[in-house]
Amino acid sequence: MNFILDNLLSLILWIPALTAIVILLLPRTKVKLIRWVAFLGSLLPLALSLVLWFQYDAAQAGFQFMQRMVWYEAVNASYFLGVDGISVTMVLLTTLLTPAAVLISWSIKENVRSYMVLFMLLETGMLGVFMALDLMLFFVFWEVGLVPMYFLINQWGSGNRDYASIKFLIYTMAGSLGLLLAIQLIGVASGTFDLLQIMEQWPALSEPLTLLGLPISLSIETVKVIAFWAFVIAFAIKVPVWPFHTWLPDAHTEAPTAGSMILAGVLLKLGAYGFLRLVLPLYPEQAQTYAGVLGLLAVLAIIMGALSSWGQKDFKRLVAYSSVNHMGFVILGIAAYAYAGTTLAADDAVIALNGAVLQMFNHGLSAAGMFLLVGVIYERTHTRDLDAFGGLFPLAPVYGGILLFTSMASLGLPGLNGFVSEFMVVRGAWPIFTLYTALAMIGLLITGAYIVKAIRLVLHGPMNERWQGQHLEINRREVFSIAPLMVLMLWIGVWPAWIVKVINQTVLRWFG
């Protein structure tokens, strides 16, 4: 047991990669065995993440379960892992959604071994971002998560997958280039990539920075501004913040069902996590200066994302644009904190930031659930055209009930998880960005409109005779995939304290 606790983060991080190696050694014809190995291999990190969650002490300051080893001594980079209340929440979300995505992927028929290997590697990349406390290691895992998703879209996506995968790759790599340069700047200026040391040294740096021995020097203020904007653009593309969002609907629409689940449920959170882990602690002055711009972009994402969803006839594209809408609340909470976190409005800012982190978790649950349900109905009807459905509730009552429940969670119905986090963001941001928050309510109104529109066109109205006599009901495997997500949607909606107290302790200590 001591070995497990001493190496808990490494076990969670590398078991998916080891599972990928095991799958590679299996004959590609043993499809059933490959599926079970992938599923069981994804359950192990979930079990260990539950151990991590219950062993994590929210009352203890700083990072916990830290592991450090020399990795790249020449540049003073290390294999340095650790979690706080924010990252432990994201680790739990990642390890929860991966088994659900693997289980729903049993419908994949071609190149199953390659598919499952990529999925396991994708999980390792995502987990590494949430655990890394070394900036160079952070960047390596950031890139590791990019490559598998590109191939999942390109090889197992639908009709326009080549365009969508290339667009996804170009956008994210463009952001990654600036991210890498900024990390190198910080490493040169600080003499280390250790995030904890950088947080201590960075505010006190005052000497000009000489670049590679050249007769060129930059003031540390200039370096900070350059690195700040490189970080902001990279993370804004990943979230995505309007107007950097245009890659998202295409990637979501063309990706396989499980790919869309993970893309919306976890990968978008990497960008928001970057704002929380790097931008706010390292650049409080720059973040405060430009918080109004970030808040404006957040409000535009909320409104434009909702309007775009409302205008869609493709069910999956409607859900895809809703991610832009919902992630806008995350950015609004972060912007509110950046602007007022050190002022008399600090209490409101802490509420907003707590809501932003909780919204990351809640959106992961509801968005993954919605994409799963879109995939279920698509597999049976081979269409995502909302006008082609109609009156399907009598033909698939269990599916209809689950869709109603998950849609209401996405909508923000009181009693379900989405309401809690969005209310916290709105409550915290209102005294700080009153106009922005009031405008964001337009997006909330339109959110209700597009959710009700989707439910009406799929489940209600006259039954489309085209589907009469066809089996459209959700099966047991698919119910098992979404059931844990539904339990958490209700649990957080009724009793959010179990997760909010973990997040809040970190927000108060780390950012307070």
Q: Once rounded to an integer, what is the mean pLDDT over residues 469-474?
A: 83
In contact, 137 and 56? CB cutoff 8 Å? no
At residue 40, the 3 state secondary structure works out as: helix
At 486, the amino acid letter reads M
In contact, 368 and 485? CB cutoff 8 Å? yes
Q: Once rounded to an integer, what is the mean pLDDT over residues 451-469?
A: 85
Give the highest mean pLDDT range of 194-198, 371-375, 377-381: 371-375
Question: Given pLDDT bands bounded at 50, 70 and 90, which one contains residue 147?
Answer: confident
Question: Given pLDDT bands bounded at 50, 70 and 90, which one contains residue 345?
Answer: low
Q: Is the pLDDT assigned to residue 407 strictly greater than 80? A: yes
- Token digits for 441? 């309510």
Question: Given pLDDT bands bounded at 50, 70 and 90, which one contains residue 43?
Answer: very high
Question: Given pLDDT bands bounded at 50, 70 and 90, which one contains residue 281?
Answer: confident
Q: Is the pLDDT assigned to residue 37 strictly greater than 90? A: yes
Q: Is the pLDDT assigned to residue 218 strictly greater than 70? A: no
Q: Where are the domains of the chain?
A: 290-512
Alpha-carbon distances, residue 36 vs 116, 273, 347 (angstroms): 10, 32, 48
- Tens of pLDDT, residues 167-197: 888 888 888 888 888 888 788 777 788 888 8
pLDDT for residue 435? 93
In contact, 352 and 424? CB cutoff 8 Å? yes
Query: 421, exposed or middle or buried, with CB in 10 Å at 0-12, 13-18, 19+?
Result: buried
Number of neighbours of residue 386 by Cβ within 10 angstroms: 18
At 259, the amino acid letter reads G
> pTM of the predicted model, to two decimals?
0.91
In contact, 388 and 381? CB cutoff 8 Å? yes
Enclosing H/E stretch for 80: strand 77-83
Give the closest residue to 269 by CA, choosing from 170, 368, 369, 201: 368
Helix 112-131 to helix 8-25 angle (10° resolution) is 170
pLDDT for residue 1? 62
Question: Given pLDDT bands bounded at 50, 70 and 90, which one contains residue 205?
Answer: low
Question: Given pLDDT bands bounded at 50, 70 and 90, which one contains residue 97?
Answer: very high
- Token digits for 430? 């209102």
Q: Is the pLDDT assigned to residue 56 strictly greater than 80? A: yes
Distance of CA 131 to the CA centre of its chain: 14
pLDDT for residue 197? 85
At 227, the amino acid letter reads A
Helices (H), 413-475: 417-429, 434-459
pLDDT for residue 206? 61
DSSP state of 134: B
Question: Given pLDDT bands bounded at 50, 70 and 90, which one contains residue 341?
Answer: low
Distance, in Å, from the CA atom of 196 to the CA atom of 18, rounded to the nearest integer, reads 29
For the chain, give the longest Cα–Cα distance.
Answer: 78
Q: Is the pLDDT assigned to residue 162 strictly greater than 50? A: yes
Return the higher-pLDDT residue of 203 and 388: 388
In contact, 352 and 432? CB cutoff 8 Å? yes
Return the higher-pLDDT residue of 191 and 280: 280
Give the closest residue to 48 by CA, choosing from 6, 104, 102, 103: 6
pLDDT for residue 172? 84
pLDDT for residue 469? 74
Question: Given pLDDT bands bounded at 50, 70 and 90, which one contains residue 372?
Answer: very high
- Token digits for 317? 């594209």
